[in-house]
Amino acid sequence: MKKFQAQPGFVVQAFRFALDPNAAQEQALRSHCGAARAAYNWAVGWVEASWWQRRAEESYGVPEDRLTQWRPWSLPALRKAFNEGKHTCPRFATWWEENSKEAYSTGLANAAAAFDNYAKSKQGKRKGRAVGMPRFKSKRKARLSCRFTTGTIRVDADGRHVTLPRLGRIRTHEPTVKLLDRVRAGTARILSATVRHERGRWFVSFQTEVKRDLVRVTRPDVAVGIDLGVKTLAVMADSTGEIRTVANPGHYDAARKRLRRASRAVSRRQGPDRGTGQQPSKRWEKANAARNKVHHRVANLREDALHKLTTAVAAEYGTVVVEDLNVAGMLRNRRLARRIADAGFGEIRRQLDYKSRQRHATRLMVADRWYPSSKTCSGCGVVKAKLPLYVRTYECDICHLVTDRDDNAALNLAALAAAAVAGTGVAGDQDTAPVVSKPRGADRKTRATRPRRKAEAGRAGGATLPHQRRKETRDRPQAEPLTLW
């Protein structure tokens, strides 16, 4: 599906509201989300069937011009094939009319996007980690979600109900006036709606085109450098020399005692067992719901704290400088992974990105990943060769500056943007290219990892390892006829 492009002066914004559906409406919601999952699995199986059939035919020496044709995975092609066979397919024939067509379109669109990502990753056109072949979604683990793009999608005039195709009128847990007022004034237009089951309840998110005027920041001439950490969530040093420290709330650490108690209660109940088919007891379901409630509360508190922090920063400073942190690599540290995940470094960067562009036109600069912000002296600019993580106080050997490690890093980030700051704070600054600094003394070396001795011995002796034998068995082609369903 093509990404929607907003008109000049308009931005695409989502308004999310919690729902309070009754029993029949919740069953219909689950049915629509299950239909989206079933359509996704059908699309994956339909496309990959031609892949495996071609591999089997090649193993039997079938010429190239007589091989089975590749099946396309574009959204129009998937919709056409699905509509042609849904009346006779045993999987859909008896119940596909119970749900809106948008539910099946959601699954097909997700499958088309998954195949596109896989193809671009194989061709080297997609950044990030390599993407594998799309896999089937499990009924037990798949996240319940469904998107509506056509039909009756509106916020009702009473401000406490929403109307969705085939689902009808559903009451919201909170007032919808913040979107209703914009729709009535003509400054917002609803494009689509997505229902989702998250954190123990149902939500509806309206994607809207909203007319938004950029608000001038409070201090447009000031640049701030933000150094994220575990001990303190953020240390902010601006170009005037003022330093602010934001304490790490530690919501997960504060709730660990309650989580331990709730987890013990769950472990003492009769839970589900897929091996024997044992069903969970009512007491287990009640205890598991209590444990999930603690997790949901932690997630909500973290989300609220991060939104308040990023909103305040984007509304005050004309230029914000952050670091390009390797959060995925930092999470591999088993001693700090829990605290890094609880802090939400990646979420802070994401929120600052869209809030600086769409609300205040704040200039967001990203320092190079190898910029030695902690090793550089904020007083004289000398760079230390090494600075271990356990050293929390920076001591300069040249100018004898003694300061906190995080304060020193934040001051260096603020100074990095001092030369590039124009001091306007207007909309023209939002497209400024990110700062890419030269590494001064940063260690770019990657530690080499030796393979395991057992694997080395297996390769040296020409033996086949167990995981290699399993892969060969799984990839062995099977000559079976290609069917549509």
Provide the 3-class DSSP secondary structure of residue 451: coil
Q: Do residues 97 and 177 both lie within one domain?
A: no
Q: Which residue has the higher pLDDT, 361 or 22?
A: 22
| Average pLDDT value for residue range 113-123 | 93
Which is nearest to 114 in space by CA: 65, 168, 78, 165? 78
Asked if residue 192 belongs to a domain, the reply is yes
Asked if residue 3 belongs to a domain, the reply is no
Q: Do residues 114 and 223 both lie within one domain?
A: no
Residue 470 has pLDDT above 50, yes or no: no
| Average pLDDT value for residue range 309-325 | 92
Q: Do residues 315 and 422 both lie within one domain?
A: yes
Q: Do residues 150 and 39 both lie within one domain?
A: no
| Average pLDDT value for residue range 261-269 | 96
Residue 481 has pLDDT above 70, yes or no: no
406 assigned to active site: yes
The catalytically annotated residue of 227, 238, 316, 407 is 227
- Does this model's pTM top 0.85? My answer is no
156 assigned to active site: no
Residue 429 has pLDDT above 50, yes or no: no
Strand arrangement of the beta sheet that strand 168-171 belongs to: 154-155, 161-164, 168-171
**Which residue matches tokens 């149902």?**
202
- 27-41, 333-347, 367-381: which range is least confident on average? 367-381
The catalytically annotated residue of 102, 238, 316, 323 is 323
Residue 211 has pLDDT above 50, yes or no: yes
DSSP run (H or E) holding 59: helix 23-59
Asked if residue 476 belongs to a domain, the reply is no
Q: Do residues 230 and 344 both lie within one domain?
A: yes
Residue 324, domain CATH: 3.30.420
Q: Do residues 374 and 391 both lie within one domain?
A: yes
Percentage of the chain modeled with pLDDT above 70: 85
Say what the pLDDT of residue 111 is: 96
**Which residue matches tokens 């001038």?**
216
Query: At what angle are helices 23-59 and 101-122 packed, to 10 degrees?
Result: 40
Percentage of the chain modeled with pLDDT above 90: 53
Q: Do residues 355 and 239 both lie within one domain?
A: yes
DSSP 254-311: HHHHHHHHHHHHHHTS---BTTTTBPPPHHHHHHHHHHHHHHHHHHHHHHHHHHHHHH
Biggest alpha carbon–alpha carbon distance for the chain = 81
| Average pLDDT value for residue range 91-119 | 92
Cα–Cα distance for residue pair 73/68, rounded to 1 Å: 15
Count of structural domains, the chain: 3
Cα–Cα distance for residue pair 463/476, rounded to 1 Å: 19
Strands (E), 165-280: 168-171, 188-198, 201-211, 219-228, 232-238, 243-247
Cα–Cα distance for residue pair 257/259, rounded to 1 Å: 5
Out of 397, 414, 429, a domain closes at: 429
Contacts of 428 (CB under 8 A, 6+ apart): 361
Q: Do residues 195 and 118 both lie within one domain?
A: no
- 215-224, 292-301, 309-318, 412-421: which range is least confident on average? 412-421
Residues 83-100: tens digit of each pLDDT:
988 888 888 878 888 999
Q: Are 356 and 363 in contact (CB under 8 A)?
A: yes
Cα–Cα distance for residue pair 221/238, rounded to 1 Å: 10
Query: DSSP state, 174?
Result: S
Task: List residues bridging with 169 in a β-sheet.
Answer: 163
Residues 174-188: tens digit of each pLDDT:
999 999 999 999 999
DSSP run (H or E) holding 139: none
Out of 378, 402, 429, a domain closes at: 429
Out of 429, 444, 468, a domain closes at: 429
pLDDT band at 255 (very low <50, low <70, confident <90, very high): very high
Q: How far is C-alpha 395 from the geometric centre of its chain's CA atoms?
A: 39
Q: Which residue has the higher pLDDT, 30 or 88?
A: 30
Mean pLDDT over the full length of the chain = 84
**Which residue matches tokens 């080297």?**
124
Q: Do residues 231 and 201 both lie within one domain?
A: no
The catalytically annotated residue of 102, 406, 407, 429 is 406
Asked if residue 273 belongs to a domain, the reply is no
Residue range(s) defining the domain that contains residue 96: 32-122
Q: Which residue has the higher pLDDT, 476 or 315?
A: 315
Query: DSSP state, 427?
Result: G
Q: Do residues 103 and 225 both lie within one domain?
A: no
116 assigned to active site: no
| CA separation, residue 208 to residues 177, 205, 459 (Å) | 14, 9, 57
Residues 60-85: tens digit of each pLDDT:
988 888 888 999 999 999 999 999 88
Q: Do residues 313 and 335 both lie within one domain?
A: yes
Say what the pLDDT of residue 454 is: 42
Q: Which residue has the higher pLDDT, 453 or 189?
A: 189
Q: Do residues 118 and 227 both lie within one domain?
A: no
| Average pLDDT value for residue range 18-22 | 95
Length of the chain: 485
pLDDT band at 7 (very low <50, low <70, confident <90, very high): low
